[in-house]
Structure 1
Amino acid sequence: MNSNNPFLNNKTFSTAVSRKDNTFNAVTIDDNQDMTLSGTINRSLILFLLLIASATVIWWATSNEILNPIVPIIGGAVVGLILVLIASFKPEYSSYLAPGYALFEGLFIGGISVIFEAMYPGIVTQAVGATFVTFAVCLGLYKYKIVKVTEQFKSIVIAATLAIATYYLFSWVFSLFTSFVPVHYGNSMMSIGISVFVIVIAAMNLFLDFDMIEKGVQQRMPKYMEWYGAMGLMITLVWLYIEFLRLLSKLSKK
């Protein structure tokens, strides 16, 4: 089974192995050209810092009414999606695409955060804290093998994630052309329950990401896969943060 994260899937990792095997026929590859856990962690930190820097600039610009937050939200989302799609097909370019994704995703995050903070003061700090705590807990559970990523576990998480994506897509399309109001809108108990469920699934995707990165290191993937893995992990964290913003905003209306 593949990770639902398009960046961290078996097909991509298998392709990377194949490319590396072909390289072995021509030259000898040393350990410095292999994917490592420390290297992936370092790349993840770099992407995180780039995202924070970009988001901070947008936060300052929009808070001082220099820029309309809608502009970076749309621009960051569109360009970020394009970079994701390119990297999905060309992972060998991840060392260039991943930093670009972090910067543009920072524009999106910065704009969204400003809007939520204006509506619900203090919500951004809460969402950031909740995201970090969730990440730390999931990492600890995975590291100490309290949660094991089995094939059945993968199947459940992937099925749930696909169901959520399908629901969000159809709800958005119907709301555009009809008077349909999605169930997850508003602050009803049903809406809050859906948000909690989505957050749980997003958190469970972190386990899949950890597992695929670990397997990539064990299989000695090419060095550029460190950027690829870090980028995939960043996608999940951004999703988790957005879902926490949604949940906290619903709870603030109570």
Structure 2
Amino acid sequence: MSFNSKNPFLNNKTFSTAVSKNEQVHQATAIDYNQEMTLSGTINKSLILFLLLTASATVIWWLTFNGINPLVPAIGGAVVGLVLVLIAAFKPQYSPYLAPGYALFEGLFIGGISAIFEAMYPGIVIQAVGATFVTFMVCLGLYKYKIVKVTEQFKSVVVAATLAIATYYLISWVFSMFTSFVPVHYGNSMMSIGISIFVIVIASLNLFLDFDRIEKGAEQKMPKYMEWYGAMGLMITLVWLYIEFLRLLSKLNSKS
């Protein structure tokens, strides 16, 4: 059984479908190689999405510290971002339009949440941003120089752990909504901090799977729109990682 990134944008089925469609070209047809997915193209798309997300988050950040309630744009951005994610998961060919939209709306969520945490723990946002950036660069370096190899066993372990985390979060959320149950990852206990560290490790390992699928997609000459699709998936992982760093740092700050 082949396991690939649990990130819905970088799963094997979607990439395989894109490959099969790209291969359905008559032998007499002239192929425009500028319409194929490339590694550099995906990197450029990722940078564009990052800039859009940062710009959107900066606007909400500024508005928050000038009196606006950040919860409304944060919740709205999260909901619309999720909708765009679901649409892109089923219609990846629309990624050139959906990915920038996702970055903008997710920026509203990130900006609002960041402002809330910053108000509670001054300086926490720059720490979380720095931790996310360093983690990304370390993982990229380890992958680029083949220090960490993405084998089938590696994929299996990361996917299983990611699925376990998602299931735990979902069950905890449902129970906390309808009962007085308090999930163990709430609060600042050592158990809660340990869970946050574990989740950060798994989120970081997902970056390796994302790098692998993007590289494989370029090698397999997938359609050009898959650059946006891959960049969007990578952005989802980075947002997850950033949020988890915020959660961990808030727990550590509340203990001091």
- TM norm. shorter chain > 0.5: yes
Tell me which residue corresponds to 1:12.
14
**Cα gap change, 1:168 to 1:149, in 2 (>3 Å):** same
Query: Which ranges in structure 2 are unaligned for 5 or more consecutive residues?
Result: none
Shift of 1:68: 1.2
Tell me which residue corresponds to 2:75.
74
The one-letter amino acid of 1:109's match is I
Alignment of 1:21 onto 2:23: yes
Shift of 1:21: 1.8
Shift of 1:63: 1.0
| Aligned-partner SS, 1:149 | coil
Alignment of 1:39 onto 2:41: yes
Query: Which ranges in structure 1 are unaligned for 5 or more consecutive residues?
Result: none
**Cα gap change, 1:24 to 1:94, in 2 (>3 Å):** farther
**Cα gap change, 1:71 to 1:26, in 2 (>3 Å):** farther
Give the TM-score taking structure 1 as reference length.
0.98
Tell me which residue corresponds to 1:116.
117
**Cα gap change, 1:26 to 1:123, in 2 (>3 Å):** farther
Give distance in 2, aligned partners of 1:25 and 1:55. 47
Listed as ranges, the matches of 1:126-141 within 5 Å are: 126-141=127-142
Shift of 1:22: 2.2
| Aligned-partner SS, 1:128 | helix
Of the three residues 46, 58, 61, the one matched with 2:60 is 58
The one-letter amino acid of 1:253's match is S
Give distance in 1, aligned partners of 2:51 and 2:27. 38
Tell me which residue corresponds to 2:101.
100
Q: Once the two structures are superposed, what CA deviation does each residue of 1:83-137 show, in whole Å capped at 9, x if it has no partner?
A: 0000001101100000000000000000000000000000000000000000000
Alignment of 1:203 onto 2:201: no
| Aligned-partner SS, 2:8 | coil
Shift of 1:12: 0.5
Give the TM-score taking structure 2 as reference length.
0.97
Listed as ranges, the matches of 1:239-254 within 5 Å are: 239-254=240-255
Aligned length, in residue pairs: 253
Q: Once the two structures are superposed, what CA deviation does each residue of 1:165-186 show, in whole Å capped at 9, x if it has no partner?
A: 0000010110011110000001
| Aligned-partner SS, 1:221 | coil
Listed as ranges, the matches of 1:141-160 within 5 Å are: 141-160=142-161
| Aligned-partner SS, 1:28 | coil
Shift of 1:23: 4.1
